[in-house]
Amino acid sequence: MESICFRCQIIARILTLGTYEVPDVTNAACVAVWGNNPDASAPPVAKRIREAVNKGAKLIVIDPRVTELAERADLHLAVRPGTDTALALGLMQVIISEGLYDREFVKRWTVGFEELAASARDYPPERVAEITGVPAESVVAAARMFAQAESASIVQGTNALDQHTTGLQNSRCVAILQAITGNIDRTGGFVSTSKVKLNPIRMPELMQGEPLGADKYPLFNEVWGRNFGEGQSMLLAETILEEDPYPIKAMIVAASNPIITWPGGRKLEKAMDALDFLAVMDLFMTPTAEKADLFLPAATFLERVELCDYYGTLQAVPYLALRRRLFQVGEAKSDLDFWIELGKRMGYGEHFPWADSVEALDYALEPSAITIADMEAEPEGGRPFGAVRLGLYEKKGGFAAPSGKVELFSQTLADLGHDGVPRHRESPERDAVGSDPEYPLVLTTGARALHYLHSQFRDIDRLARRNPEARAEIHPETATTFGISDGGMMEIASRQGTIVMKARLTDQIVPGVVSVPHGWGDASANDLTDDYQGDPITGYPILKSKACRVRAA
């Protein structure tokens, strides 16, 4: 789901560490890849993981599927979707009970260790094995491998851990595991990097009212004074249809195909039909664009000027790159040029004083004393800036949390009525495996293929030939139980809807799980999902641990 990528992880790490830190994979002695298949979604990250392994790093992969990295891993924990919190607590139980945690760091720089230890005691390896399907001996081995490594990093997937009822707590678990093993602000652990200093573009003081969901999911909107400035998009369709808390009569969709890529896309399609006006800005006539009253041609990456400064934020590589405009075709505009021009034509010229996107970017870069002309002059189109920052909490005398320490127990969460320390909670659709005879299987959606991004690129012949059709993965044992044949058409039903998709039988997925790819217009995974805000803290939907049934179609 494009609309809220990384937000859950950002909130979780701020709530725990006071800031957003990322894994220093290159220098790690142990790398745990959790709910992530970078070979299909981020090949440069996969390359860096392999380089670390080639230098001697141990590799742990936690995934219900046998990915390319899982085949190479020292340990592969094939966890049942939706039980990652239990697995994480099981790892903590071993680390704490065997005294493998960093005692000095925990004593000096954390709060809530006793509360965390008490929660972890409820998850010995044997119980964790019953909940997750991961053998108890594998839980113990992984905990020891991670905690005893000279340095260790967890490489978390974009949304795989977040789209559950315990999504925020899953991401907190990742930060907590890094913290209790002392792998914070150190080489090979979690680190932060220098940020490009920018002039603020947003004008929150002009906003009337609060973003959608700010009352129901306050942490999604703001954490300790850090305002994210965006509403919870899972409330959008309902708001349009019910006109509560206010009416929405017009909408502009840019660089998104939500009818296919948003949970409960058909509900959003119904909401779009209720609008007085819909404009869509895109490169192609997508199913969403077909609903538009006005279609606007967007510039391709070759027709716009853009700054890319997210390498440090996502991959601990402090680097600033420029995307150059090489040519112009027809009336296509870059997104930034479009918003500048729209602002002026609506009478807000004083807030959009720039002639074009280049002037706007130069304004944004002023505090860093860098200009677009400077970047144009770079022969490789980019430049390093700053550095990876190590031992920052020692230099500053603490962490940027209210306590000044890593918050293993979050008073902020407790004050809002949530668990102050992580605890396993099953998906509301499933109290236990097989508890609902009508929907006995676990549905996980959104597995990526290297050829495509969300609903994009299926119109490119070379890519379409390599991956021409949607296939849902299912274990042969499960397929036999339900009369499914390899390559045969399979009906997949959830409480929200039904689709038909070709079956791919593979022993590289946990029995009892059905993995459905997303982005296919003729068999949309989001016809099986809805916008129900399953995580009570963030309002994230449940896309990775739903209940389903299958039969031959």
Tell whether 36 and 147 lie within a shared domain.
yes
Tell whether 399 and 481 lie within a shared domain.
no
Which of 44, 127, 38 lies closest to 85, judged by CA?
127
Our count of domains for the chain comes to 3
**Cβ–Cβ under 8 Å, residues 22 and 29:** no
Is 369 part of any domain?
yes
| Helix axis angle, 167-180 to 113-120, nearest 10° | 110
Distance CA 235, CA 214 (A): 11
Tell whether 164 and 278 lie within a shared domain.
no
Tell whether 288 and 169 lie within a shared domain.
no
**The pLDDT value given to residue 387:** 82
Is 350 part of any domain?
yes
What CATH number does the domain containing 534 carry?
2.40.40.20
**The pLDDT value given to residue 4:** 55
Is 146 part of any domain?
yes
Torsion of CA 495, 498, 501, 504, to 10 degrees: 20
Is 481 part of any domain?
yes
**Cβ–Cβ under 8 Å, residues 54 and 217:** no
Tell whether 170 and 61 lie within a shared domain.
yes
**The pLDDT value given to residue 176:** 98
Distance CA 136, CA 273 (A): 52
Is 314 part of any domain?
no
Three-class DSSP labels, 438-475: CCCEEEEEEECCCCCECCECCCCHHHHHHCCCCEEEEC
Tell whether 408 and 448 lie within a shared domain.
no
What CATH number does the domain containing 155 carry?
3.40.228.10
Distance CA 553, CA 544 (A): 23
Q: Give the domain range for residue 252.
A: 204-219+230-308+325-380
Tell whether 174 and 293 lie within a shared domain.
no
**The pLDDT value given to residue 112:** 98
Distance CA 322, CA 383 (A): 9
Judged by DSSP in three states, 346 sits in: coil
Judged by DSSP in three states, 93 sits in: helix
Distance CA 275, CA 177 (A): 46
Judged by DSSP in three states, 97 sits in: helix
Beta pairing, strands 294-297 & 277-282 = parallel
Distance CA 485, CA 552 (A): 8
Tell whether 237 and 353 lie within a shared domain.
yes
**The pLDDT value given to residue 46:** 92
Distance CA 187, CA 199 (A): 31
Q: List the pLDDT tens digit at each of the 553 positions of the chain.
A: 334 567 899 999 999 999 999 999 999 999 999 999 999 888 889 999 999 999 999 999 999 999 999 999 999 999 999 999 999 999 999 999 999 999 999 999 999 999 999 999 999 999 999 999 999 999 999 999 999 999 999 999 888 899 999 999 999 999 999 999 999 999 999 998 888 889 988 887 888 888 999 999 999 999 998 888 889 999 999 999 999 999 999 999 999 999 998 998 889 999 999 999 999 999 989 999 999 999 999 999 999 999 988 777 777 788 899 999 999 888 899 999 999 999 999 999 999 999 999 999 999 999 999 999 999 999 888 888 878 888 889 999 999 999 999 999 999 999 999 999 999 998 887 654 456 789 999 999 988 888 887 888 888 889 888 888 899 999 999 999 999 999 999 999 999 999 999 999 999 999 999 999 988 888 899 999 999 999 999 999 999 999 999 999 9
Tell whether 468 and 508 lie within a shared domain.
yes
Tell whether 395 and 300 lie within a shared domain.
no
Is 224 part of any domain?
no
Length of the chain measured in residues:
553
Is 430 part of any domain?
no
Q: How far is CA 374 from the centre of its chain?
A: 33
Distance CA 114, CA 121 (A): 11
Tell whether 498 and 524 lie within a shared domain.
yes
Tell whether 162 and 36 lie within a shared domain.
yes
Q: How far is CA 299 from CA 7, 241, 252, 293, 331, in A?
A: 27, 32, 16, 20, 9
CA contacts within 13 A on the Cβ side of 429: 29
**The pLDDT value given to residue 455:** 82
In sequence order, the 6+-apart residues with CB closer than 8 A to the CB of 365 are 196, 198, 199, 307, 371, 372
Is 165 part of any domain?
yes
